[in-house]
Amino acid sequence: MTHDGHDPIEPWIRKNARPLATTRIFTLEEQHWHCPSDASRSGDFAVIDSPDWVNVFAITPDREIVLVEQFRFGVGINSLETPGGIVDRDENPAVTAARELREETGFTGDEPVFIGALSANAAILNNRFHTYVIENAINDAQQNLDEHEQIRVVTKPLTEIPSLIGRGQIHHSVIVAAYALFEIWRAGND
């Protein structure tokens, strides 16, 4: 029993899944889940089957963070974010982190340090986003953008990140959540 006097919830069992729509970056599935403790709660649920993502807190020798500004189609506005992207099939997320940083910004640095993985939206997404820190990031390469990417590289002092979040200039929830991981990591490494 837990501290509240209730038994822990048993994990539900996925019985089957069928694709409803497939795109180049995800598949929308209808999944049937069985509740072992109360079969009447079992049912069909919409789940987005998506590859994992990474995001990178790239820190320059001058203690600035490398950010990217790009147009985001979901919200129809520009978004200021940390570099990142989709983990390719059979690619280690650390390799993805270094690759995405280089491709999106032209920056490279030390080996990526893993600081945590979170669920982007556990209600409907089955993937995780992995957050890395790359220190000593320097601009020593050219951007190599994907076909539909248009990215402006921005550096800001690390100390400005909370105010950028507070003013809504950084508004992407994945980046804000990753910043919490970054602050926990930084507290243990300062």
Q: What is the phi-psi region of residue 174: left when phi exceeds 0, alpha when psi lies from -120 to 50, beta otherwise?
A: alpha
Asked whether 101 and 81 are in contact (CB, 8 A), the reply is: no
CATH number at residue 96: 3.90.79.10
Cα-based distances in Å from 34 to 18, 19, 30, 89, 149: 15, 18, 13, 29, 41
Find the domain containing 31 and state its range: 13-49
Radius of gyration (Cα) for the chain, nearest Å? 19
- Verify that 43 and 125 share a domain, yes or no: no
3-state class (DSSP) for residue 18: strand
DSSP letter (8 states) at residue 39: G
* 59-79 tens-digit pLDDT: 999 999 999 999 999 999 999
- Verify that 58 and 41 share a domain, yes or no: no
3-state class (DSSP) for residue 80: strand
Amino acid at 161: I
* 91-142 tens-digit pLDDT: 999 999 999 999 999 999 999 999 999 999 999 999 999 999 999 999 999 9
